[in-house]
Structure 1
């Protein structure tokens, strides 16, 4: 699964990188410990334009009775995203890119779990493949999203058995193409990212608490540190 990530990128950088047409009512500040239920930036195709807007992380389908279901839907599996009832309609018409610049996974070790941060060697931000929906809640419409996961690459596999789908630029274009609705073709994009273009490093176990949000969370530590 992907349950925590980081984003320090500015709106201006995202506009250039993802060729955005519009930016919604969004205030983007560095977040070193993005967690489920947080309000997160995501990119969708809206009327033929690429829109950056705020979304609730944890998918709340339009048919949900309440938003608690979002806790169970922070991730969708690439292998079943085109067949599961909650997702098969969304992959055809409501796809999203969730910008990030790193993500955390925990490795089981003697005495507990050691968190690692995974980033691109280039240091560039990137986009997770995701899906979104809009739920008509008691306080008005709420847009929410889920991050798609796949099997791990060689860098991730000894830490965790899943990794988020990171889309390279050409795949981003295909994923956001409003004319594309072939679920099987889209599913072919949902593959592990090239391990040779990524690196990982150990970080403080403090990242395990969502109350901790400081920049020190992304600092590399010796493995014998806490």
Structure 2
């Protein structure tokens, strides 16, 4: 599951990291509370040319008559992405990477309180989250692929976003032939830092600012 994330790396740095041509309509950074329906920067590859493009986080299937014609789709499950009608074509033809500096996940506290935790890569680099995208009208929309949680998630949540390593980017983006399904797996132990609790302020989609990722006592 991935329902909120951060992007603190500049767009220029992301373009350089992914060797991508940046668009001129990319969202401003930093953003410490990227929420569903926000515009996000996404890496795609067309004929081997990578582009950093702006997309709406919230995949809109082709048959929707309006963006709110059905459920808001922000994640695609790795175990059903190849068979669900919404994603069948996208997983074959329109895979992408969603750069993120970190992401939030929630555990349940007393009285079902939602307790947020923050995850980042141990090496400090941006995460390359696996995604699928869809053109709807004149808008490009994206969903993040999730899988069963690995050891890095601990007991916080049973699912996590698929995080791609640099050597796997060409395969996921369709530049290195077929077989990308093998990449939809949990992150290896040690790739992510140990998560830490952050304040419940981030539970609001209206919250913003660097204080959102400051640790608090667990």
* Fold conserved between structures, TM > 0.5: yes
Are the counterparts in 1 of residues 152 and 187 from structure 2 also a CA contact under 8 Å?
A: no
**Alpha-carbon distance between aligned partners in 2 of 1:49 and 1:121, rounded to the nearest angstrom:** 29
User: For residue 124 of structure 1, what is the aligned residue in structure 2?
Assistant: 125
User: For residue 26 of structure 1, what is the aligned residue in structure 2?
Assistant: 26
User: For residue 104 of structure 2, what is the aligned residue in structure 1?
Assistant: 104
1:214 aligns with 2:213: no
Are the counterparts in 2 of residues 43 and 98 from structure 1 also a CA contact under 8 Å?
A: yes
**Alpha-carbon distance between aligned partners in 1 of 2:150 and 2:185, rounded to the nearest angstrom:** 9
1:198 aligns with 2:192: yes
Paired residues for 1:64-213 under 5 Å: 64-69=64-69, 71-111=71-111, 112-136=113-137, 141-178=138-175, 180=177, 182=178, 185-199=179-193, 200-213=195-208
Deviation of the 1:124 alpha carbon: 1.2
Q: How many residues were matched structurally?
A: 216
Are the counterparts in 2 of residues 37 and 71 from structure 1 also a CA contact under 8 Å?
A: no
Are the counterparts in 2 of residues 58 and 71 from structure 1 also a CA contact under 8 Å?
A: no
**Alpha-carbon distance between aligned partners in 2 of 1:28 and 1:109, rounded to the nearest angstrom:** 34
Q: Deviations over 1:199-219 (max 9, x none)?
A: 211100100001101110011
Structure 1 unaligned runs (5+)? none
Structure 2 unaligned runs (5+)? none
Are the counterparts in 2 of residues 43 and 51 from structure 1 also a CA contact under 8 Å?
A: yes
Are the counterparts in 2 of residues 57 and 70 from structure 1 also a CA contact under 8 Å?
A: no
**Alpha-carbon distance between aligned partners in 1 of 2:121 and 2:70, rounded to the nearest angstrom:** 29
**Alpha-carbon distance between aligned partners in 2 of 1:193 and 1:179, rounded to the nearest angstrom:** 21
**Alpha-carbon distance between aligned partners in 1 of 2:24 and 2:88, rounded to the nearest angstrom:** 27
Q: Secondary structure at the match of 1:92?
A: helix
Are the counterparts in 2 of residues 82 and 187 from structure 1 also a CA contact under 8 Å?
A: no
**Alpha-carbon distance between aligned partners in 2 of 1:191 and 1:69, rounded to the nearest angstrom:** 31
Deviation of the 1:46 alpha carbon: 3.0
Distance change in 2, residues 1:69/1:166 (3 Å): farther
Q: Secondary structure at the match of 2:168?
A: helix
**Alpha-carbon distance between aligned partners in 1 of 2:27 and 2:80, rounded to the nearest angstrom:** 34
Q: Secondary structure at the match of 1:197?
A: coil
Q: Deviations over 1:114-143 (max 9, x none)?
A: 11001111111121000001111xxxx011
Q: Secondary structure at the match of 2:183?
A: coil
Tell me which moved more, 149-158 or 22-31: 22-31
